[in-house]
A and B are shown apart, each in its own frame.
Chain A
Amino acid sequence: MACIEARGLRKSFGPTIALDGVDLRVEEGRILGIIGPNGAGKTTALNAVLGLTAYEGELRVLGRDPWRERDQLMRDVCFISDVAVLPRWARVSQLLDYIAGVHPRFDRAKAEAFLAKTNIRLANKVRNLSKGMVTQLHLALIMAIDARLLVLDEPTLGLDILYRKHFYDSLLNDYFDRSRTIVVTTHQVEEIEHVLTDLIFMNRGRIVFQSKMDDFESRYLEVMVHPEKAAAARALKPMNERQVFGGSILLFDGVDRQELAALGEVRSPSIADLFVSVMGQQNDQTQGATR
């Protein structure tokens, strides 16, 4: 069964179109990264999945309609939407009490075990914790819930590099077990690159690129080309070209590795490089359309 299935998902805020017909299918056990510029519709899409916003079109999450059945859906889904939304007046122990009280799949002992590894004490109030500690606390609470889908919307925004690294490490080591599904958006692409199994780029409310990471590695290649071979390389129709010291780097989609090896040093591009190139093509298209 698909964990998330969306067809023709639309949402507009007045004249602004946030989602412009999104079709999406996420199988269970995947870790999907959604990358896009600000205002691309990532958060709106995730809010629709979480039942936080109304939408047009078809959407099923774990077989449920999120907008009508948010409370039932939340037994199987948990999310960290934005940084530090835990109530500032609450004590850590109160949050544990409350979640244990309302969530049938919360394992309090597990949450306390996670917290024991941090500097957070049960008597602490959220308002007295640093931003990084609040995120640690939220993660500990979420990881103690035996959910089938975890949605993370910019979970590490504004955290320092140590907390960010720790966040994804514990998520992978202590939480992910191949039966759960994780959907994550972030601007720090390089930090989740090795974690993902699937990748989506969004722009202006649409999905503009979609790939499994396995395919990604075999399909996209980057070549560092010397100036004298540049013309030959350009003949192979690169997606993108950027100048660096001593030559240029060209990004190719579906060109044979052997062929490219003759032109220069071949390597897999980073998600960030591919993102820049896809967004560049997008902007060219829109400019072409408006002309």
Chain B
Amino acid sequence: MSTPSNTMSESFQVQSVAPAAFPASRAFYWSVRRELWENRSIYIAPLAVAAVALLAFSTSAIAGIWEKALRLDLTQAGEAVTQPYDVAAGMMMLTGIIVSVFYCLDALHSERRDRSILFWKSLPVSDITTVLAKVSIPLVVLPLLIFAIIVAMQGIMLLLSSLILLGRGQSVAALWTKLSFFRMSLLTFYHILTAHALWPLPIYCWLLLVSGWARRATFLWAVLPLVAIGGVELIVFRTGHFAALVGSRLIGAAPAFDSPDNMFPSGPMTHMAAGTFVSSPGLWIGLIVAATFLAAAVRLRRYQGPI
């Protein structure tokens, strides 16, 4: 086997620097797995809150408190029937915000604090892959997880109330028409995507950037500048636009529905306004700001070593 071409390829093999390389998506996938291993609160906290919410709902249903609403004519009961579903979903979304904030504040800090950044950097994973994997937690992983938990939770709630109704010999038809499960889930998904993934993204990216920059007290460094800007605005102009802006981003007050009065996914008057959302300058300005913070975080990680 000593044809010229063989010898060529052999000598080439000796000199070539890196033959096989995995696709970038593979490094990204494993980097996300790493985040879930390190930060188990990402799924434990929402599951725990869901368990508590379910327990509360079962207690109320079995004890008959919730039944008062059912005793009314279901066509009139309206909000009283759907309210527990909205409250439970709201609790999950609030949990998602809290977990995201604390995750982002620690994401680029913990690897420097425990010096493991030296280990991560010894592997063929780029800084941009690492930072994108981290931002995917509040942008993709948590929203999907929160949505899945909400659907599962509301499904169990609906099943439970139906069983109670049937157990008392009442009809479930009214309940099921009142509470359009599929429509509610669809609107929930849309709401989480717009209001809790895309809208607050600049906030999460800011927190990531601070976590990659601050040597200690990341919370302080993340919050103080915001408080300072808001305070200066209040003193100089006697207005509170900046504070309102940050607050609305964080809680997810996005222009994603027809009317701000009708934002509950369970409400019959709630209608998606995807066109308004996509064409709102606020969305795009927010995304540009988020991308700027992310780019800075990627660049920063290249320079950073253990603290």
8 Å CB interface, A201-241 against B: none
Contact status A98-B33, CB under 8 Å: yes
Q: Mark A12-37, 1 if CB is under 8 A from B, else 0.
A: 00000000000000000000000000
> What A residues does B63 contact at CB under 8 A?
none
Is B79 at the interface (CB under 8 A from chain A)? no
The 0/1 profile, CB within 8 Å of A marked 1, for residues 121-132 of chain B is 111111101000
Which of B21, B29, B116 lies at the interface centre, i.e. has the most chain A CB atoms within 10 A of its CB?
B116
Q: A81-B122, A102-B30, A104-B22 are in contact. Are A87 and B305 (CB under 8 A)?
A: no
> Which A residues touch B116, using CB under 8 A?
85-88
Contact of A99 among B21, B33, B37, B123 (CB under 8 A): B123
CA distance A81 to B302 in the complex (A): 16
B182 within 8 A of A: no
Stretch in A64-72, A109-117, A165-173, A276-284 with 4+ CB within 8 Å of B? A64-72
**B18 lies within 8 A of A75 (CB):** yes
Within 8 A of A (CB), among B5-64: 15, 17-22, 26-27, 29-31, 33-34, 37-38
Docked pose: A72 CA to B21 CA in angstroms: 9
Given A64-B17, A88-B114, A75 and B124 contact (CB-CB distance below 8 Å):
yes
User: Is B241 in the interface zone, CB < 8 Å from A?
Assistant: no
**A52 interfacial by beta-carbon distance below 8 Å:** yes
**Min CB gap A95→B, angstroms:** 9
Chain A residues within 8 Å of B306, by CB: 85
Tell me which residues from 142 to 193 in chain A have a Cβ below 8 Å from any Cβ of chain B. Answer: none
Interchain Cβ contacts under 8 Å between A and B, 12 examples: A52-B118, A52-B121, A80-B122, A87-B38, A94-B34, A97-B30, A97-B33, A98-B30, A98-B123, A103-B124, A104-B124, A138-B119
Q: Supply 6 further A-B pairs (C-beta < 8 A) apart from A88-B114, A97-B30.
A: A70-B302, A74-B123, A75-B124, A82-B115, A85-B117, A102-B123
Q: Cβ of A101 < 8 Å from any Cβ of B?
A: yes
Interface size on B, residues (CB 8 A): 35
A interface, over-half SS: loop
Interface residues of chain B, those whose CB is within 8 Å of chain A, are: 15, 17-22, 26-27, 29-31, 33-34, 37-38, 111, 114-119, 121-127, 129, 302-303, 305-306
* Contact assessment for A87 and B114 in the assembled complex, using a CB-CB cutoff below 8 Å: yes
Cβ contacts under 8 Å, A85 to chain B: 115-119, 306
Contacts of A62 in B (CB 8 A): 17
Which of chain A's residues has its CB closest to B14's CB?
A: A179
Q: How far is the CA of A189 from the CA of B304 in the complex (A)?
A: 30
Interface residues on A, range: 35 or more
Return the chain A residue nearest B126 by Cβ. A71
A89 and B115 contact, CB distance less than 8 A: no
A1 within 8 A of B: yes
Q: Given contacts A63-B17, A85-B118, A86-B119, is CB(A102)–CB(B124) below 8 Å?
A: yes
Tell me, in angstroms, the Cα distance from A64 to B17 when the chains sit together. 9
Given contacts A87-B114, A89-B37, A102-B26, contact A52 B123 (CB under 8 A): no
CA distance A94 to B19 in the complex (A): 26
Contact residues in B for A1 (Cβ distance below 8 Å): 15
- Whether A54 lies near B124 (C-beta < 8 A) is no
Q: How far is the CB of A192 from chain B (nearest CB, A)?
A: 21
Q: A80: shortest Cβ distance to chain B, in Å?
A: 8
Please, how many angstroms separate the alpha-carbon atoms of A234 and B211 in the complex?
Answer: 62
Contacts known (A87-B111, A104-B21); A71 close to B125, Cβ less than 8 A: yes
Alpha-carbon distance A102/B22, docked complex (angstroms):
7
Docked complex Cα distance between A82 and B17 (Å): 26
Cα of A76 to Cα of B17 in the assembled complex, Å:
7
Q: A74-B124, A79-B122 are in contact. Are A52 and B305 (CB under 8 A)?
A: yes
Q: Does A272 contact B (CB under 8 A)?
A: no
B17 in contact with A103 (CB, 8 Å): no
- Report A-chain residues with C-beta under 8 Å of the C-beta of B115: 82, 84-85
Among B20, B22, B26, B123, chain A packs the most CB atoms within 10 A around the CB of: B123
Q: Which residues of B contact A87 (CB under 8 A)?
A: 38, 111, 114, 116, 119
Which A residues are in CB contact (< 8 Å) with B121? 50-52, 70, 74
CB distance from B59 to the nearest CB of A (A): 36
The reply to whether B114 and A101 form a contact with Cβ atoms under 8 Å apart is: no
Does A90 belong to the interface (CB within 8 Å)?
Answer: yes
Instruction: Report the minimal beta-carbon distance from A144 to chain B, rounded to whole angstroms.
Output: 13
Check A94–B37 contact: CB distance below 8 A.
Answer: yes
Most buried by B among A50, A62, A104: A104
- Roughly how many angstroms separate A76 CA and B16 CA in the complex, as a whole number? 11
Chain B residue contacts of A103, Cβ below 8 A: 123-124
Q: Does A7 contact B (CB under 8 A)?
A: no
The smallest beta-carbon distance between B60 and chain A, in angstroms, is 38
